[in-house]
Structure formats: structure tokens, C-alpha cells
A = this chain, B = another copy of it.
């Protein structure tokens, strides 16, 4: 066990704070199955000694795992791995988004979710929602070129549609996914090809807004899926066979 710990502790960049590294080590011990649900973790003293750190750091690490519902600590007894269905946080590994497959998967999920969100929004949007959405669209074309403010307005457009569904969970999830994608785009080298395609981008948003105004759920969904698919294609991401399912094409025959 201590050997495993030492191996893992070197695979993490030393720039990260120590408690986070320890939390990653323990987290991997759990997700890899070396520590199964119900098992007891080594005592804080053992972990501290085995890693050559203070118990304080170990406690901060375990505190993170506890917050995620990964382990449950009982005073006097120890810390125990919880059942998978007890987890109460969802956390994405940033390294998964650095390769192209990860981004493709996230874009596909985004198309699904936001497409359905647009469909619901078309049915339930209030007038205030429409006002907010078109305001975001104005900010988008108002700001010049592809400035920072333009991107922010773009995101606001999508977030507001998700909010217009009236379902706070959909709103939360859409916000989360958008943020992940935005972060990846920012720090990756994606942000080079995208420059003067703003007109196309704005045009796709207009189609979505029109469908929302008209209250046409299916048109809104199709427009949103199309927009996200195209937006992904512009930065080199292809979403595999995301065929529209309006009844035109069948899977078999």
C-alpha cells in the first residue's frame, strides 16, 4: 500500500497543493477498486506516516472526499468507503478534455441537453425570457469581432434558454457543461481558427430565437442541435452521426 502511494504521489504535478494530491491518491485507490465500498481507509496516522506528511494534510484530503460523498468518517471507528449511489457530487477530470475525443463526447452531450432544453423553452418561455435572450443576442452582434464580451454574450444566450425551461436542474447542468467547454476552448489552441465566422454564428442563433418566439419546440430543438454541431465543426470537432430525428430518416432499411 505504501508503495502504491509513493508511486502515485510522484505522478501528480508538485505545483498542486499537497492535500489535493493526497485526495487524488485516495480517490484513485477507491475508483480503481483497491478500496471497495465498505472498506475502511488506513488511519489518518498511517496515511500521514506512509506519505511522510502531517496528519493535518491528510485530514484536509479526507475532508474533500467526505464532501463528495466518497467516504464517511465515524469518530472512533475510522473512515469508510461509501456505496457508489451515495456520491453527491459530479466532477470532471480536466485532463479528459485536453484530447479531441473528450471534447467530442462533451459536445455530443451538450447537443443532446441543449437541444432538449431549447425544445422545452419553446413551450414554456415567458416574455421576460424572450427579452433576456434577445438582449444577449444583441450584445453578441454588438460587440466587435470575436471579443471577450461576445463570447460571454454567446454563453449568456445559451444559459438563458436553459433557464427558460423553468427546470433548475437543466439550467444547472447546461451551465456546468458550457463552462467546461469554454474553459477548454480558452486554454487550448482552439481559439485561433475562429475569427470572422461571427456572422454565421449569429445567424444560427437568430434561427433559434425565431423558433423560440414562434413557440415551435421541434424547430427550436433542431436549430439548437444544428448550431452546436456546426460550432463544434468550426473548431475541428465532429459529432458523430447526430442525425436529426424529425421522422425523415429511419435507422433500419
User: Could you tell me the distance between the alpha carbons of A87 and B179 in the complex, rounded to whole angstroms?
Assistant: 8
A221 to B116, CA, bound (A): 13
The CA-CA distance from A87 to B172 in the complex, in Å, is 12
Extra pairs beyond A105-B169, A112-B170, A216-B251 (14, CB < 8 Å): A17-B66, A60-B60, A63-B63, A84-B179, A85-B179, A86-B183, A89-B90, A90-B176, A92-B169, A105-B167, A108-B120, A109-B170, A214-B252, A221-B245
Whether, in the assembled complex, A6 has its beta carbon less than 8 Å from a beta carbon of chain B, the answer is no
A88 CA / B177 CA spacing, docked (Å): 10
- How many monomers of this protein are in the complex? 2
Interface residue A196 (Cβ < 8 Å from any Cβ of B): no
Give the number of chain A interface residues (Cβ < 8 Å).
Answer: 63
- Shortest Cβ distance from residue A209 to the other chain B in the assembled complex, whole angstroms: 16
Contacts of A169 in B (CB 8 A): 92, 105-106, 108-109
Q: Is the CB of B241 within 8 A of A218?
A: no
Is A88 within 8 A of B94, CB to CB?
A: yes
Closest chain B residue to A214, Cβ basis: B252
Measured between C-beta atoms, what is the minimum distance from A105 to chain B in Å? 5
A–B Cβ pairs within 8 angstroms, 30 of them: A17-B66, A20-B67, A23-B67, A64-B64, A67-B68, A85-B155, A85-B178, A85-B179, A85-B182, A87-B179, A88-B91, A88-B92, A88-B94, A89-B89, A90-B172, A90-B176, A92-B169, A92-B172, A105-B167, A108-B120, A108-B167, A108-B169, A112-B112, A116-B116, A119-B245, A122-B251, A123-B251, A215-B251, A215-B252, A218-B247
A249-B106 Cα distance, complex, nearest whole Å = 31
* A residues whose Cβ falls under 8 Å from a Cβ of B: 17, 19-20, 23, 56, 59-61, 63-64, 66-68, 73, 84-92, 94, 96, 105-106, 108-109, 112-113, 116, 119-120, 122-123, 155, 167-170, 172-173, 175-176, 178-180, 182-183, 214-218, 221, 241, 245-247, 250-252
